[in-house]
Structure 1
Amino acid sequence: MENKQLVKNSKFLALVLRHDPGKIGVELDEAGWVSVDVLLAAIKARGRQFDRGELDQVVAQNDKKRFEFDETGTRIRASQGHSVPVDLGYVPIEPPEALYHGTATRFLESIFGEGLRPGSRHHVHLSTDAETAVKVGTRHGKPAVLVVAAARMLADGHEFFRSTNGVWLTEQVPAEYLSRLPG
């Protein structure tokens, strides 16, 4: 499958598995899983060409590893980023001293006033490196990288989770735990 089609399929899969499963008439279970067979049949019924080989390729080649199969390979879900109610079953884990969040400079005043909030998603997404945060911030405009004092947040009672694709998650980041990375 050419890269353009791979990206298109990945975006469609993200829409269905993270935000709007009803768009193609499927339901996610409480942990976000859906049967691969049910998913592919629903996609086909909507007139899209998307077979198991293409699905495997999207899961394997997605640069952010957004999707995962269960241990049997018969169910699939998004690793994080849902705006629909799911419980991914992640357990709290101790974060590194600092984590990073990429945003656009135009949002900084609001963020430093209100902190980071998940918006329509379940959690705020954080990374372990500034380079990833720059890429995320660039998607929204002129990038700015925020440093999150994760160890201090943990000590103050905030919980952190790590998704299967390595994205760090927390419910919110109050402004007092944020600083801007110079640059």
Structure 2
Amino acid sequence: MNTKHISKFLSLVLRHNPDKLGITLDTQGWTDVNILLQKMNAQGKNVDVERLKEVVATNDKKRFAFNEDQTMIRANQGHSISVDLNYEAITPPNFLYHGTVPKFMGEIKQQGLRKMSRHHVHLSEDKTTAMRVGARRGVPTILVIRSSEMHQKGHLFYKSENNVWLTDHVPSEFIDFK
């Protein structure tokens, strides 16, 4: 399995479907590295601890993290299953960005950005990252979020270990549609 395939598989089992591999995540999304590797190898994935460390270290979006002694692993954000990542609310920068595609603009103008099946709406501090995210589904449209204004009105923001900004909902009144 190449690094990209391992990363995609880890995203699936650590963010959405641990049952696919037969692993258990604790309430904070952690699972035992040795059990993860045993289950992966039982399914023919052929991954050892060094390869897993390489995948975590080289993932361009830093989607995964080890605990301090590297005996546990979890996804940093993007879960569709119930986990508590213990994020603390912090003050966001004045503006954050969200990448999308034109076909969703009508719904976003009416309802704002919703978390859908995830725990949070994902935002970035820079337009380049938002552009890459939006480009996964076609020609990207970058939305500017007036996050400081949202925060002043009582909306909470969190920042994941891999620098993704998270919030529960972005009402359309805080989105600059240009």
Provide TM-score, normalisation by structure 1.
0.95
The within-5 A match list for 1:29-108 is: 29-108=26-105
**Structure 1 unmatched runs, 5+:** none
The secondary structure found in structure 2 opposite 1:120 is coil
Residue 21 (structure 1) aligns with: 18
Residue 109 (structure 1) aligns with: 106
**Structure 2 unmatched runs, 5+:** none
Query: 2: CA distance between counterparts of 1:45 and 1:121?
Result: 29
Runs of 4+ in 1 over 6 A off after TM superposition: none
The within-5 A match list for 1:120-135 is: 120-135=117-132
Question: How far does the alpha carbon of each residue in 1:41-71 deviate from its partner, in whole angstroms, 9 at most, with x for none?
Answer: 1111222211111101100000000000001
Question: How far does the alpha carbon of each residue in 1:14-49 deviate from its partner, in whole angstroms, 9 at most, with x for none?
Answer: 001000001010010000000101111111122221
The secondary structure found in structure 2 opposite 1:89 is coil
Query: 1: CA distance between counterparts of 2:176 and 2:142?
Result: 9
1:152 matches 2:138:
no
Letter in 2 for 1:154: H
* Identity value in percent: 51
| RMSD of equivalent CA atoms | 1.0
Query: 1: CA distance between counterparts of 2:149 and 2:166?
Result: 15
Provide TM-score, normalisation by structure 2.
0.98
Letter in 1 for 2:126: D
